[in-house]
C-alpha cells in the first residue's frame, strides 16, 4: 500500500540527488548548468515544504490536537532551510564557489537531520492516524 | 500521543559539547602517555587502552547518543541537563580514579565502582527511553543491543577488578571476554548502527539492505557467542563485520556527494576495521597490532563524525536564537582545518606502523610526538568551534 512515509521519503531522496549533482557542478565551476539545476532543486524542496505545511501538518494537527509539537519544530526548520536556500542563491549569483558550498553544506546537514525526524517519527505517525491515500492525492494536486 | 509535544527537542548544546571536549582532552592525555611510554621504553597497556576506549571513545559515544536519541529514534530524554550531569560526573570522577589505580593500585576498585555506576546509570537511562519507542528501523535497534553489550562487558570488567582484589574467584579468560564484548558488541556495533543511517544521508548513497541492517545485532549476538569458543569459531564474527565494512566502502565509493569533508576519515576507519578483522583470529599473538588497528578504526570515525556534528550543532542552536550572528558550519571549523587534522592523524598512523615494523624505539617517539600534535590540534578545533557558540550567544 502506498503510504505518506514512502511518498514523502521519495521526495527527500529526489532532493538529495539533485543536491549532490548541484554541488558537483558548483565544485567544477560549471555555473551555467548550476544555475539551471539550482532552480530545479530549490523549487523541488520548496514545493515539498508547501505540501507539508499546507496539507499534511494542518491535517495532523487537526486530527491529533497537537499544534505545538513536531509540526511546529518542522516549520521552524523549514524557515531555516528557506533562509539558507536564499543565501545559496546570492552566492550563486556572485559565482562565489566557497561561499556557496559552505552554505550548501549547512543546508545539507540541516535537511538530513530534519528528514530523519520526519521519516522516522512524523510520517509513520501520520500514516497511523490520517487517511494516507486522500492526503497523497491532495498533495499531488497542490 | 501527547508525548509528541516534547518530541524532536534537541538536548542543550552544553551536554554534547561537554562530553565531546572531555573526550578530546582524554585523547590529548592518551597521546602524552603514549609519548612518555615510548621514551621510557615500557607501556602500561591497561591505562593506555582505557584512555582510548573510555576516555576518548565512551565519552564521545555517550555525548553523541544524548544528541542522536531524539533525532534518530524519537526517544526524548526529558530534562536532560541534570541527568547528563550525573552521568558526566560519575564517569569523569570514576574514570580518573580508575586511571590512577592502573598506576598505583589503591584507587582502582573505588574508581571502577564509580565509573561502573556512571555507565550503568547512563545506559539504563537510554535503554529505558529506547524500549519505550517502536524500534522498527535498524539504528535504534542497534543502539539497544550495543547498550546491553556495554553493560555486560563492563560488568565483566568490574568482576575482574573484584577478582584482582581477591573478593571474587578469578575467571579464566575474563579479559578476553571483556574486550571482545566491548570492542565488537559495543564500539563496533554502535558505529555500524550509526552508519546504517548516516552514510546514506550524508554522502547520498544507496541504502544498506534493510534486512541485513535489521538483523545485524542479532547475528552479532550469535557470532559473538560463538567466537568465545576459539579461533575458528570467530569466523562468523569476522565475516559479519567484513560484510558491513565492504558494504560501507562500496557505498562510499559510489556516493553521489563528492565533497563531504569527513570522507577520508571514513575510508581510513573502514580500512583499519578490515585490518583488525584479519588480525583477529591471531590476535593473541599480535595483540598490539590488533588493538592498534581497532583503535584507528574507531578513533578515525569518531573524529570524522565529530567534525560534522560539532559545527552543525553550533549553527543549529545559534540559528534558533533571535538577533544572533550565526556562523556557517565551515566558519565553525574550516574544511582546511578538518583536512589538516586528517593528514596529521594519518601521518601518526603511518609512522607508528613503520616504527612497529622496523622495531625502532626512536620511531615510536617520533610517531607519539606526531600523535600528540594531532590530538592537540583536534582538541583545539573542537574547543574553538564550541566556544564560538558561547561567544555568539552572549553577544
Query: In this prediction, what percent of chain A has a pLDDT beyond 70?
Result: 99
One-character DSSP codes across chain A? ---HHHHHHHHHHHHHHHHHHHHHHHHTT-HHHHHHHHHHHHHHHHHHHHHIIIIIHHHHHHHH--SSSHHHHHHHHHHHHHHHHHHHHHHHHTT-HHHHHHHHHHHHHHHHHHHHHIIIIIHHHHHHHS-HHHHHHHHHT-
What's the structural domain count of chain B? 1
In this predicted structure, the answer to whether residue B106 has a pLDDT above a threshold of 90 is no
Q: How far apart are CA B182 and CA B44, in angstroms?
A: 20
Task: List CB contacts of B30: < 8 A, sequence separation 6 or more.
Answer: B48, B51, B52, B55, B56, B375
Confirm whether B10 is domain-assigned.
yes
* pLDDT digits 0-9 by tens, B262-318: 899 999 999 999 999 999 988 888 999 999 999 999 999 999 999 989 998 998 888
Q: What is the pLDDT of residue B1?
A: 37
* Beta-carbon separation of B201 and A115 below 8 A: yes
Query: Is B30 a member of any domain?
Result: yes
Question: Contact at 8 Å (CB) between B317 and B385?
Answer: no
- Asked if B74 lies within 8 A of A120 by C-beta distance, the reply is yes
**B207 touching chain A per CB within 8 A:** no
Q: Which helix (DSSP H) or strand (DSSP E) does residue B352 occupy?
A: helix B335-358
pLDDT value of position A12: 94
Domains, chain A, with CATH or none: 4-140 (1.20.120.520)
Please check whether residue B125 lies inside any domain of the structure: yes
Tens digit of each residue's pLDDT (9 = 90 or more) over B203-221:
889 989 999 999 999 999 9
ipTM over 0.90: no
Put simply, the answer to whether B257 touches A19 (Cβ < 8 Å) is yes
Tell whether B262 is covered by a domain.
no
Q: Are B299 and B272 in contact (CB under 8 A)?
A: no
Count A/B contacts: CB-CB distance under 8 Å: 89
In a domain, B145, yes or no: no
Quote the pLDDT of residue B158.
96
Q: Is residue B296 part of a domain?
A: no
Q: How far is A13 from chain B (nearest CA, A)?
A: 8
B168 vs B88: which has the higher pLDDT = B88
pLDDT given at position B74: 78
Residue B2 domain flag:
yes
Report the alpha-carbon distance of residue A86 to residue B112 in Å, rounded.
53
Distance from CA of B367 to the nearest CA of A (A): 34
Distance from CA of A65 to the nearest CA of B (A): 9
Structural domain span for residue B29: 1-133
Smallest CA–CA distance, residue B50 to chain A, in Å, is 32
Question: Would you report the helix, strand and coil content of chain A in percent, each value rounded to 5?
Answer: 85, 0, 15
- What average pLDDT does the segment A56-63 reach? 93
Partner A contacted by B199 (CB < 8 A): no
Lowest mean pLDDT among A21-30, B32-41, B168-177, B184-193: B168-177
Say if residue A1's pLDDT is above 80: no
Residue A6: partners with Cβ closer than 8 Å, 6 or more residues away: none
Question: For an interface test with B, which of A64, A83, A112, A126 has the most B Cβ atoms less than 10 Å from its Cβ?
Answer: A112
B233-278 tens-digit pLDDT: 899 999 999 999 999 999 999 998 887 778 999 999 999 999 999 9
| Position B63 in a domain | yes
- Determine the pLDDT at residue B8: 53
Per-residue model confidence as pLDDT tens digits over B331-355: 899 999 999 999 999 999 999 999 9
Q: Are the C-beta atoms of residues A22 and A104 closer than 8 Å to each other? A: yes
Residue B255's closest chain A neighbor by CA?
A20
Quick check: B4 and A69 CB within 8 A? yes
Q: Which residue has the cell 534537541?
A: B10
Amino acid at each position: 500500500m502506498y503510504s505518506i512515509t514512502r511518498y514523502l521519503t521519495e521526495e527527500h531522496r529526489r532532493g538529495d540527488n539533485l543536491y549532490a549533482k548541484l554541488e558537483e557542478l558548483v565544485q567544477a565551476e560549471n555555473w551555467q548548468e548550476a544555475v539551471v539545476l539550482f532552480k530545479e532543486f530549490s523549487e523541488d524542496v520548496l514545493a515539498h515544504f508547501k505540501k507539508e505545511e499546507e496539507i499534511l501538518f494542518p491535517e495532523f494537527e487537526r486530527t491529533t490536537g497537537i499544534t505545538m509539537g513536531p509540526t511546529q519544530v518542522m516549520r521552524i526548520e523549514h524557515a531555516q532551510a528557506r533562509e539558507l536556500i536564499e543565501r545559496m542563491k546570492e552566492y550563486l549569483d556572485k559565482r562565489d564557489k566557497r561561499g556557496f558550498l559552505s552554505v550548501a553544506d549547512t543546508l545539507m546537514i540541516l535537511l538530513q537531520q530534519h528528514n530523519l525526524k520526519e521519516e522516522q517519527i512524523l510520517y509513520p505517525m501520520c500514516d497511523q492516524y490520517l487517511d494516507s491515500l486522500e492526503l497523497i492525492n491532495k498533495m499531488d494536486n497542490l | 500521543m501527547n508525548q509528541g509535544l516534547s518530541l524532536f527537542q534537541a538536548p542543550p548544546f552544553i551536554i554534547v559539547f561537554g562530553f565531546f571536549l572531555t573526550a578530546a582532552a582524554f585523547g590529548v592525555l592518551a597521546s602524552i602517555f603514549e609519548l612518555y611510554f615510548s621514551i621510557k621504553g615500557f607501556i602500561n597497556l591497561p591505562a593506555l587502552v582505557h584512555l582510548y576506549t573510555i576516555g576518548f571513545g565512551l565519552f564521545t559515544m555517550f555525548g553523541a547518543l544524548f544528541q542522536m536519541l531524539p533525532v534518530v529514534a524519537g526517544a526524548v530524554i526529558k530534562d536532560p541537563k541534570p541527568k547528563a550531569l550525573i552521568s558526566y560526573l560519575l564517569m569523569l570522577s570514576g574514570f580518573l580514579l580508575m586511571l590512577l589505580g592502573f598506576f598505583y593500585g589503591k584507587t582502582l576498585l573505588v574508581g571502577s565502582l564509580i565509573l561502573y555506576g556512571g555507565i550503568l546509570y547512563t545506559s539504563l537511562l537510554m535503554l529505558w527511553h529506547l524500549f519505550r519507542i517502536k524500534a522498527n528501523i535498524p539504528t535504534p535497534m542497534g543502539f539497544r543491543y550495543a547498550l546491553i553489550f556495554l553493560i555486560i562487558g563492563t560488568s565483566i570488567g568490574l568482576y575482574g577488578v573484584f577478582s584482582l582484589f581477591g573478593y571474587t574467584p578469578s575467571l579464566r579468560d575474563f579479559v578476553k571476554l571483556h574486550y571482545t564484548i566491548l570492542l565488537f558488541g559495543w564500539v563496533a556495533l554502535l558505529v555500524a548502527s550509526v552508519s546504517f543511517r548516516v552514510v546514506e544521508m550524508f554522502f547520498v548513497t544507496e541504502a544498506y539492505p534493510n534486512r541485513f541492517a535489521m538483523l545485524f545485532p542479532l547475528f552479532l549476538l550469535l557470532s559473538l557467542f560463538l567466537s568465545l569458543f576459539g579461533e575458528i569459531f570467530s569466523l562468523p564474527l569476522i565475516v559479519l563485520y567484513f560484510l558491513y565494512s565492504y558494504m560501507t566502502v562500496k557505498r562510499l565509493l559510489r556516493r553521489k556527494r563528492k565533497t563531504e569533508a569527513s570522507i577520508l576519515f571514513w575510508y581510513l576507519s573502514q580500512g583499519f576495521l578490515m585490518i583488525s578483522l584479519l588480525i583477529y583470529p591471531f590476535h593473541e599473538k599480535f595483540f598490539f597490532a590488533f588493538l592498534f588497528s581497532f583503535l584507528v578504526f574507531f578513533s578515525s570515525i569518531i573524529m570524522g563524525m565529530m567534525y560534522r556534528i560539532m559545527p552543525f550543532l553550533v549553527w543549529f542552536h545559534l540559528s534558533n536564537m533571535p538577533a544572533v550572528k550565526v556562523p556557517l558550519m565551515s566558519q565553525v571549523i574550516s574544511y582546511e582545518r578538518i583536512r589538516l587534522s586528517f593528514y596529521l592523524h594519518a601521518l601518526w598512523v603511518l609512522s607508528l606502523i613503520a616504527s612497529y615494523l622496523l622495531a625502532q624505539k626512536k620511531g615510536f617517539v617520533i610517531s607519539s610526538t606526531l600523535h600528540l600534535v594531532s590530538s592537540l590540534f583536534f582538541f583545539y578545533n573542537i574547543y574553538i568551534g564550541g566556544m564560538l557558540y558561547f561567544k555568539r550567544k552572549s553577544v
